[in-house]
A and B are shown apart, each in its own frame.
Chain A
């Protein structure tokens, strides 16, 4: 019990505005119930609620905004000399103007879906979308295989002793080191790029799933034995729900790592994707384009992490 509740704490963020909103709700509820002020009270309560909500959002966003402004200011000051080797924010804005303001060049959305122009010159968002589609395939395969292998070594001590040393060694191999091997195996840039993402993302998924299963409290297993659950029922009713929090910790680390691997993967692939964009801008000495791409990668990676975390919360709540 206690171990599970500690695990559950991990994906929850207590300081987000949602939590603050929940805390703020009792005020209007009481006001509605009070018969003395039939009309004014709910309005005042609602206004108070929005004020509280706005205040809590401001309290969490303000420090971030201040930090960004300070950072830009310091960066601008330190790189504003005419012979500075690193471009200042203003210079990035000027030189990469086209990249910044037209990210969706070459992307079209119609009823059949999203289309990316494959004739070379496309905006950065198009490269990002191409990268994302690769990450989704590679990561999707890593998630399925990783959870399956995690369940295997988590519930079988024999499989654990057999495979865990192998996984522990392989997981330390950096994405780029897999590149030659991946090319040798697949002889083809497309699949080897996907393999690179797959092999980078799978380890934390396997290991967190396995440790989640190993840490299922004895109490739950005893309940299952007393109730006489068969292996399938045990898997669905006890093992999976009890493992959701650590499993999603693994999936979260995994999505972050697969996004990390994308640059390496797209140096193999070439032609499209944000990794290629960086490689290409480096070769063309367009350092400001690289900076813009870095910001995009960071923001997309952050969003991916938040999406997986949110899915984890929804799954943990619903099962």
Chain B
């Protein structure tokens, strides 16, 4: 029997019905992610990377192909695949604590009330948000909301953590702070992570592998670059590392030479 990877995406094609006939977003995607691996998916806007993440999350059904997570077929959404959404998706009528609590109640129903409460606070502490437990999302900055979004996801103890351009809406400084949070969490929890980004530095700094996608429609995986930098990583030291430069070079060349931004290409 073939030994499958922890997350195995096998020949996944996604087509959406449109008035002009089916639109092929993803074409025959094969991707393997090992347990504890941090994989960044990068590509131009509209290349279908969010679709791929949604397929793994179970929010979108593939037209063809099959996905396995730790040997189980993925057939729909579930709390074992926690998602950090780009727009954080916190429920505005719940406090920070209640938002995380909702996720914990669903995933740790066998624990006592006190244990669940402590677990919520523990996870808020991990993202340095315990001080705002009683606040509502509307009272928080974008970066703080996304910290809570991350806390909610990791509090579910997912088998894989899916991050959909988690810092896309944040300014550069806030983004750097959040990237550091993610690196710290990764060092202590060693989650399996699939993250979507269109920030080359973010991909290279955070990921063990950068998977580059070709432009849509019918997007495929173009290149798969392993980032051989030791952990823990430091954003300042990384700047002087040959591996960092090499990975950056590979990704930038892929995105801006081999697969240029389709809209820019059309305008030229």
Contact between chains at A219 and B85 (CB < 8 Å): yes
**Assembly CA distance A244 to B94 (angstroms):** 13
Taking CB as reference atom, which chain B residue is nearest A318? B93
What is the CB-to-nearest-CB distance from A47 to chain B, in angstroms, rounded to a whole number?
31
Which of A21-29, A77-85, A109-117, A222-230 lies on the face that meets chain B?
A222-230
Q: Report A-chain residues with C-beta under 8 Å of the C-beta of B92.
A: 1, 4-5
What is the CB-to-nearest-CB distance from A180 to chain B, in angstroms, rounded to a whole number?
45
What is the CB-to-nearest-CB distance from B116 to chain A, in angstroms, rounded to a whole number?
14
Is A241 at the interface (CB under 8 A from chain B)? Answer: yes
**Assembly CA distance A227 to B78 (angstroms):** 6
Contact with B along A1-45 (1 / 0, CB 8 A): 100110000000000000000000000000000000000000000
Contact between chains at B93 and A226 (CB < 8 Å): no
Contact between chains at A220 and B59 (CB < 8 Å): no
**Assembly CA distance A233 to B103 (angstroms):** 12
Q: Pick from B87, B93, B102: contact of A227, CB below 8 A.
A: B102
Q: Report A-chain residues with C-beta under 8 Å of the C-beta of B2.
A: none
Q: Main secondary structure on chain B at its contact with chain A?
A: loop
What is the CB-to-nearest-CB distance from A216 to chain B, in angstroms, rounded to a whole number?
11
Is A319 at the interface (CB under 8 A from chain B)? Answer: yes
Q: Pick from A226, A228, A241, A244: contact of B91, CB below 8 A.
A: A241
Contact with A along B97-127 (1 / 0, CB 8 A): 0000011001100000000000000000000
How many interface residues does chain B have, given as a range? 20 to 34
Contact between chains at A226 and B102 (CB < 8 Å): no
Contact with A along B122-158 (1 / 0, CB 8 A): 0000000000000000100000000000000000100
Q: Report B-chain residues with C-beta under 8 Å of the C-beta of A1.
A: 87, 89, 92
Is A237 at the interface (CB under 8 A from chain B)? Answer: yes
Q: Report A-chain residues with C-beta under 8 Å of the C-beta of B57.
A: 226
Interface residues of A in 222-248 (CB under 8 A from B): 222-223, 225-229, 233, 237-238, 241-242, 244
Taking CB as reference atom, which chain B residue is nearest A225? B77
Q: Report B-chain residues with C-beta under 8 Å of the C-beta of A237.
A: 91, 102
Q: Pick from B58, B78, B93: contact of A316, CB below 8 A.
A: B93
What is the CB-to-nearest-CB distance from B74 to chain A, in angstroms, rounded to a whole number?
13
Contact between chains at B79 and A220 (CB < 8 Å): no
Contact with B along A207-229 (1 / 0, CB 8 A): 00000000000011011011111
Contact between chains at B79 and A228 (CB < 8 Å): yes
Is B82 at the interface (CB under 8 A from chain A)? Answer: yes
Is B83 at the interface (CB under 8 A from chain A)? Answer: yes
Q: Report B-chain residues with C-beta under 8 Å of the C-beta of A222.
A: 59, 77, 83, 85, 89
Is B81 at the interface (CB under 8 A from chain A)? Answer: yes
Q: Report A-chain residues with C-beta under 8 Å of the C-beta of B103.
A: 227
What is the CB-to-nearest-CB distance from B262 to chain A, in angstroms, rounded to a whole number?
25
**Assembly CA distance A136 to B101 (angstroms):** 38
Q: Report B-chain residues with C-beta under 8 Å of the C-beta of A219.
A: 85, 87, 89
**Assembly CA distance A238 to B93 (angstroms):** 9
Q: Do A226 and B78 form a contact, CB below 8 Å, given A1-B92, A237-B102?
A: yes
What is the CB-to-nearest-CB distance from A239 to chain B, in angstroms, rounded to a whole number?
11
Contact between chains at A220 and B91 (CB < 8 Å): yes
Taking CB as reference atom, which chain B residue is nearest A222? B59
Q: Pick from B83, B87, B94, B138: contact of A226, CB below 8 A.
A: B83
Q: Pick from B89, B107, B138: contact of A223, CB below 8 A.
A: B89
**Assembly CA distance A227 to B102 (angstroms):** 8
Taking CB as reference atom, which chain A residue is nearest B145? A1
Q: Report A-chain residues with C-beta under 8 Å of the C-beta of B83.
A: 222, 226
Contact between chains at B79 and A223 (CB < 8 Å): no
Q: Report B-chain residues with C-beta under 8 Å of the C-beta of A4.
A: 92
Q: Pick from A225, A228, A319: contact of B93, CB below 8 A.
A: A319
Contact with B along A162-186 (1 / 0, CB 8 A): 0000000000000000000000000
7 sample A-B contacts, Cβ–Cβ < 8 Å, listed by A number: A1-B87, A1-B89, A5-B92, A5-B138, A226-B82, A227-B107, A316-B93
